[in-house]
A and B are shown apart, each in its own frame.
Chain A
Amino acid sequence: MAAIKSGALVTLPELQPSSDFFKEGASLRVIGKLQEYSVETAIAVIADQGATLKIDTQHLREIGFRIGSIFQFIGELHIQPNNEAVLQARTGRNIDGIDLDLYYQSLQQLRRFQAEHMKSAAT
């Protein structure tokens, strides 16, 4: 398979400093509603279920950052000296119209399915 890493599925409330996902360089896939976007810094802030995350979008092109829209980003997490996380996005896209309830339930199903297969592969 390719050397480029897959972005692990994570929800913003799960992305706490105590989480396994909260690591320098971790490849992640996140979704959230766009709260803020600065053209000067290319930093976006997305929110989901009360949690927020800064996204560095400087490598992304041709994306219309509309406040209130839902976006998906894949990229690498960088932990700042003040312990704040910023996702350096490799890809981003508008996913307005996504069924969020179905997404969260499917995410749990997918994790369970992967865990079952890892377990059966190990035995």
Chain B
Amino acid sequence: MAQQPPSMLNVHVRLLGFSLRSITPSPGCSSVFKLNGKPISRVEVLGVVTSRDCKPNKFLRFTLDDATETITCILWLNHLSSHFFFDRQPGTLRVIADLAKRFADDLQIGEVARVRGNVGSYRGDLQVTVSDVVIESDPNAETLHWLDCISLARLCYFA
């Protein structure tokens, strides 16, 4: 019996912006998208921060430019006020809120950021809801990200 390829649904799929643009919504499930027919929900992207719109204690919406496309990302900053998080432990919420605040402070225009998060749709446009941010200081980080994405696409995502 042929071995099934591993599911990509719960892994962070490393994508270039133009590949991210090619994903399509999965019928009946707003949090799942199809990449070349394979279901995905989480992505890892990397690029230069080229815009930021911060509403304190609400959200930071920013764009990453990875040289192939711009990627819209949203980082929620409302963990301590939103009803959405009321079932979480207060201590846990405080840690998450502090981390999100630190990410927002780090995400300045011109920085290169590696972002992980859930892909979603807002007003018809794709956006990444941020769960993790790393500011890259290695000047080769973008180059290596391009090569990783190309290699993964050829060997796995589009194989």
Contacts and interface: CB of A to CB of B under 8 A. Distances in A.
Q: Do A and B come from one complex?
A: yes
Interface of A: 1-2, 4-9, 29, 60, 63, 70, 72, 74, 90-93, 95-99, 102-103, 106, 109-110, 113-114, 117, 121
B63 A99 contact: no
Contacts of B67: 6-9, 29, 110
**Which of A1, A60, A70, A95 counts the most B-chain CB atoms under 10 A from its CB?**
A1
Contact of A5 (B21, B70, B138): B70
> Which 5 A-B pairs give the minimum distances between C-beta atoms?
A95-B139, A98-B139, A91-B110, A2-B63, A2-B70
Nearest to B61: A2
A2 B72 contact: yes
A1 B71 contact: yes
Nearest to A60: B110
Interface of B: 16-19, 21-22, 48-51, 63, 65-72, 109-112, 125-126, 138-140, 143, 146-147, 150, 153, 158
B22 A121 contact: yes
Nearest to B49: A91
**Interface on chain A toward B: helix, strand, loop, or mixed SS?**
mixed
20 contacts: A4-B50, A4-B51, A4-B65, A4-B70, A6-B65, A6-B68, A6-B69, A60-B110, A90-B109, A91-B49, A93-B110, A98-B140, A99-B143, A102-B143, A109-B146, A110-B16, A110-B150, A113-B150, A113-B153, A114-B18
Contact of B109 (A2, A9, A91): A91
Contacts of A29: 65, 67
B19 A117 contact: yes
A97 B22 CA distance: 33
A8 B51 CA distance: 17
Contacts of B69: 1, 6
B157 to A, nearest CB: 11
B30 to A, nearest CB: 18
